[in-house]
Structure 1
């Protein structure tokens, strides 16, 4: 009789422990961090198709995106995209001769150096102004202008318009799989 009670009590403790563990895992995944798989080549060479990353969901609930952050957001096609923040609210963004200008000041993009070195025909990023791409001279308040690092093969703000900050799930900078690529990306 005593042995049966002890087994029952032990079983209840295990059930409680498992429920707490699953509950904590769900809370962490819903509110703090979640995994994502890179789908496509739009962020190459920084990210490769199939890379698995951790998305930090809490960063933008207490702060705003920073220029050049890699973010995950809900895209119009009911899909999540991974892109790089180029323009912040109020920024004037322009490309001339493969150089990024923000508020008329040139910016270096070291993450594009590998692709620029491989280009044989023209430029990596075509010339454009925000007016030509999104119909306004500056990034609207509450929005960001995002682009993929693989500029010739990326569906980004040049095609879908400025992205509402409310649509951003979080930022990502940690690749955890494949193991050979494990680490931080910039």
Structure 2
């Protein structure tokens, strides 16, 4: 899912309320985060928590694309450094284990059948993460905080 950084005037609302003085509204494009984030949804990302608390498993993040530095991606954090991840091919034909090296995270879309993610480009350097997406602001009938992964965890017990 590609995201486009934008200024919709919504940052001022969060700044004035004191809820998020350092964030961006993002327009999301593509099916990789469905059903959590639909094509053309607008979400809000903040980047303070990654500095103070770090990124956690289950967080949805916006990051620079490892395969196209001019693009941003929106994915869920599945693994942190040191984690052993159970991965499968996008078509589900084979399964394997991957380790997340130091200074990296493992990112996957919620729509595993239609996502280009760490299963293709491997672990993502932590430095490419731009912020944590926590709130859907458009469409208004879907306004609210984003929840945990509908897929459950994908960590390996082996």
Indicate the TM-score class for this superposition, using the shorter chain for normalisation.
Answer: 0.7 to 0.9
Counterpart secondary structure, 1:38: strand
Checking the alignment, whether the CA contact within 8 Å between 1:174 and 1:184 is kept in structure 2 is yes
Q: TM-score, normalised by structure 1?
A: 0.63
Aligned mates of 1:33, 1:124 — CA distance in 2: 36
Matches within 5 A, 1:41-52: 41-52=31-42
Question: Which of 133, 148, 151 is the aligned partner of 1:172?
Answer: 133
CA contact (8 A) 1:95 1:126 kept: no
Q: Which sections of structure 1, spanning at least 5 residues, go unmatched?
A: 1-23, 97-122, 131-136
SS in 2 for 1:55: strand
Gapped regions of structure 2 (runs ≥ 5): 1-10, 16-20, 148-158
**What do residues 26-46 of structure 1 show as CA deviations (whole Å, max 9, x unaligned)?**
xx6xx8101111110000011
TM (norm. structure 2) is 0.73
RMSD: 2.2
Q: Is the 8 A contact 1:95 1:125 kept in 2?
A: no
- Corresponding residue for 2:23? 33
Distance, in Å, in 2 between the alignment partners of 1:140 and 1:35 is 30
| Structure with greater proportional strand content | 2
**Matches of 1:166 and 1:94 in 2, distance apart?**
24
* 3-state SS, counterpart of residue 113 of structure 2: helix
Task: Give how far 1:125 is off.
Answer: 5.2
Counterpart in the other structure of 1:86 = 78
For 1:21-170, list aligned pairs within 5 A: 32-75=22-65, 76-77=67-68, 78-95=70-87, 127-130=94-97, 137-170=98-131
Do the aligned residues in 1 keep the contact of 2:87 with 2:119 (CA within 8 Å)?
A: no
Post-superposition Cα deviations, 1:71-97, rounded to whole Å, max 9, x if no partner, equal 10000312110000001100011147x
Match of 1:184 in 2: 145
| TM-superposition CA deviations, 1:127-183 (whole Å, max 9, x none) | 4224xxxxxx41010100010011011000011211111110011120011101100
Give the total of aligned pairs. 127
Separation in structure 1 between the aligned mates of residue 93 and residue 118 of structure 2, nearest angstrom: 14
